Amino acid sequence: MESKLKKLSQLPSLPTVAIRLLKMFSDPEVGISDVVYVLQTDPALSGKILKAANTSQFGLRKPVSDLQRAVVLLGKKSVMALALGFSLAEASMNTGNYASYYSDFWFQSLVRGCTASLLAEKYSQIDSGEAFTLGLLARIGRLAMLNCDPERFVECMKQAEQTGASLDAVEAQSGDITSMQVTLHLFSEWNLPAHCIHAVQTMTISLDEACNKTPTGAIGLADVLRIATAFGEFFSGEGRGLAIAKIYELCCTILREPETAVNDLVDQVREELDDHSDLFSVDMSKVGSPLELLSQAMGQLSQLAANASMARDEVSSASCEMLEENGRLRKRVLELTQSTLTDPLTTLFNRSYLTQQLNERCHRARESQAGIGVLFVDIDHFKKVNDTHGHLVGDEVLKCVAQALKEMVRDADIVTRYGGEEFVILSSAPDVTGLARQAERIRQRIESRPLTCGPSTLSVTASIGGAMIVPPRQSCNFAMQILETADAAMYASKRKGRNCVTIFEEVIAAQAPAMQQA
């Protein structure tokens, strides 16, 4: 075990200067002159430190041309952190087959470092230089694994990306040495203090455990690293949705900040990254704005929350399993996505979610050459209801119909409010006969539930159109075509006198006819 750890702990060309500085990092006997002496052995690194000292982010009043003065003004730990950052940036500049993985490692390291430093300054008594350094190093084992065992490690990374599981979990399941074990081994070799090792070791505990621990009034180093790691995933990873949910939950619970303040923190981290991008050769033009990233994250969360909340005959992703196992994360995801997934009046899924799910079903059906069933439900004479009885009664009619639809569908069906008095159902019916039977049962259920309106009773009916069609393999806009076809079938029901069902089995372009108010 020990010999294998040593073999896997070889970092790619990390300069001797960086290793020496690491071993000096928390030694109280090390003075500024000792740091300067080590830096002077690497002229290129010394030049970068001086360049950094003269950037606006450090706010020095006069230009600095002397290395010792730069160390005095910036502080020993800040200079060490910068030196380590420059060294890691160079070590991550791989141009081989795994270049993108090296690049992503470095970017996430920089995000963690910047975030940890920012959090230390705003919320704790932790030295910001120490926080920056540990943010950079918290996943250093991954760099070592990329260098020493790239094939196995990249396979673990791909599996994590495909399943939505954390890389730590995938590595643990492999039964071999993990990158976290390598990280802790390196920390021990570098003689980093026990509190730093403990912080990195405990930063991966579950979200529930992290948020349920007894509050102390001040966040610890492990909390800083835990939040910084979530920011790293948010700014760089495919799992941006889960990452922002973690960020909201950690910041709202541990930092006791409202969600609006968390959004501000995302902006501040982005500003820190922009400030550091020139120093550390990071191209921020490829990273979206905070608003764009948040929008992408919410889109991913909408999909994840819907999958987790529905019992469908599909293999559950690791992300959904993570939500099931982690109560706090599930609750936060559902809270964040409530407004983006559902219609607030009827609590049905909304049109945006319908589009997303219909596109997915079309893709699967195109591969399997199975039919897709869609039902379009339109409440008859709804405008007359509003005009006669008022919009509050109209709202009650919508809720009543929505409830009837919920009661008449299978677990694998998706019921959505399309807009106004229109509803769309993605049906799991196996064929056109099954779809027609389901539509007729829905029609009868709606008709059989009159709504009490003051002293009178209001009869409610609906016209239903459906389409059951196998998508052509080459069609690129089939989702829109089948919706239009079901809509056309619904208008055919209107022309027949309303309160009936029409099903089409081939694509028909929808042409909403000029007709009486529905």
- Of 5, 90, 75, 77, which is closest to residue 42 (Cα–Cα)? 90
Residue 132 lies in a domain: yes
Please list, in sequence order, all residues whose beta carbon lies within 8 angstroms of the beta carbon of residue 116, skipping any fewer than 6 positions away. Answer: 131, 132, 134, 135, 224, 225, 228
Q: Which of 245, 278, 311 is the endpoint of a domain?
A: 278
Q: Which amino acid is at 108?
A: Q
Question: 248 and 379 share a domain?
Answer: no
For 93-110, the pLDDT digits (tens) are 776 888 888 888 889 999
For 395-419, the pLDDT digits (tens) are 999 999 999 999 999 988 999 999 9
Question: 41 and 148 share a domain?
Answer: yes
Residue 498 lies in a domain: yes
Mean pLDDT over residues 55-81, rounded? 77
Tokens, residue 317: 């992703």
Contact call for residues 100 and 92 (beta carbons, < 8 A): no
For 173-216, the pLDDT digits (tens) are 887 888 999 999 988 888 888 999 999 999 988 877 877 775 55
Residue 407 lies in a domain: yes
Residue 326 lies in a domain: no
Tokens, residue 238: 């495919």
Q: Domain range spanning residue 418? A: 351-504
Question: 454 and 359 share a domain?
Answer: yes
Residue 311 pLDDT greater than 60, yes or no: no
Residue 269 pLDDT greater than 60, yes or no: yes
Tokens, residue 395: 């709202």
CA gap 511, 436 in Å, rounded: 22
CA gap 129, 293 in Å, rounded: 28
Question: 263 and 384 share a domain?
Answer: no
Tokens, residue 94: 């791989």
DSSP state of 284: G
- pLDDT at residue number 316: 43
For 142-173, the pLDDT digits (tens) are 988 888 888 989 999 888 877 767 788 888 88
Helices (H), 278-344: 290-309, 318-325, 327-341
The SS3 of residue 50 is: helix
Q: Which of 263, 278, 293 is the endpoint of a domain?
A: 278
Q: Is 514 exposed, middle or buried (0-12, 13-18, 19+ CB in 10 A)?
A: exposed
DSSP state of 518: -
Burial letters 284-321, b for 16+ CB under 10 A, else e: eeebeebeebbebbbbbbbbbbbbbbeeeeeeebbbbe
Mean pLDDT over residues 423-437, rounded? 94
Tokens, residue 16: 């001797």
Pick the range with the lowest mean pLDDT from 25-39, 295-309, 446-460, 478-492. 295-309
Beta strand 456-458 with 451-453: parallel, antiparallel or unpaired? antiparallel
As a whole number of Å, the end-to-end CA separation of the chain is 74
Q: Is 488 exposed, middle or buried (0-12, 13-18, 19+ CB in 10 A)?
A: buried
Mean pLDDT over residues 485-498, rounded? 96
Whose tokens are 């119909």? That residue is 401
Number of domains the chain is built from? 2
Q: Is 412 exposed, middle or buried (0-12, 13-18, 19+ CB in 10 A)?
A: middle
Contact call for residues 420 and 351 (beta carbons, < 8 A): no
Question: 171 and 267 share a domain?
Answer: yes
Residue 17 pLDDT greater than 80, yes or no: no
CATH number at residue 146: 1.10.3210.10
What's the pLDDT band for 517 if we cut at 50, 70, 90?
very low
Whose tokens are 């006791």? That residue is 256
- Of 491, 490, 461, which is closest to residue 381 (Cα–Cα)? 461
CATH number at residue 487: 3.30.70.270
CA gap 469, 317 in Å, rounded: 28
Question: 158 and 267 share a domain?
Answer: yes
Contact call for residues 93 and 101 (beta carbons, < 8 A): no
SS3 content of the chain, % helix, strand, coil (to 5): 65, 10, 30
Tokens, residue 77: 């730990």
What's the pLDDT band for 61 if we cut at 50, 70, 90?
low
The fraction of the chain above a pLDDT of 70, given in percent, is 85
Element (H, E) at 423: strand 422-427
Question: 274 and 357 share a domain?
Answer: no
Question: 163 and 47 share a domain?
Answer: yes
The fraction of the chain above a pLDDT of 90, given in percent, is 32
CA gap 287, 300 in Å, rounded: 17
- Work out the mean pLDDT of the chain and round it to a whole number: 83
Residue 43 pLDDT greater than 60, yes or no: yes
CA gap 301, 10 in Å, rounded: 38
Residue, of 338 and 369, whose pLDDT is higher: 369
What's the pLDDT band for 308 if we cut at 50, 70, 90?
low
Mean pLDDT over residues 328-350, rounded? 78
- pLDDT at residue number 210: 79
Contact call for residues 379 and 460 (beta carbons, < 8 A): yes
Residue 286 lies in a domain: no
Contact call for residues 423 and 351 (beta carbons, < 8 A): no
CA gap 98, 92 in Å, rounded: 10
Question: 234 and 118 share a domain?
Answer: yes
Beta strand 501-504 with 462-469: parallel, antiparallel or unpaired? parallel
Phi, psi torsion values for 11, nearest 5 degrees: -85, 150
Question: 359 and 460 share a domain?
Answer: yes
CA gap 375, 483 in Å, rounded: 9
Residue 323 pLDDT greater than 60, yes or no: no
What's the pLDDT band for 1 if we cut at 50, 70, 90?
low
Residue 419's DSSP bridge partners are 422
Q: Which of 262, 278, 294 is the endpoint of a domain?
A: 278
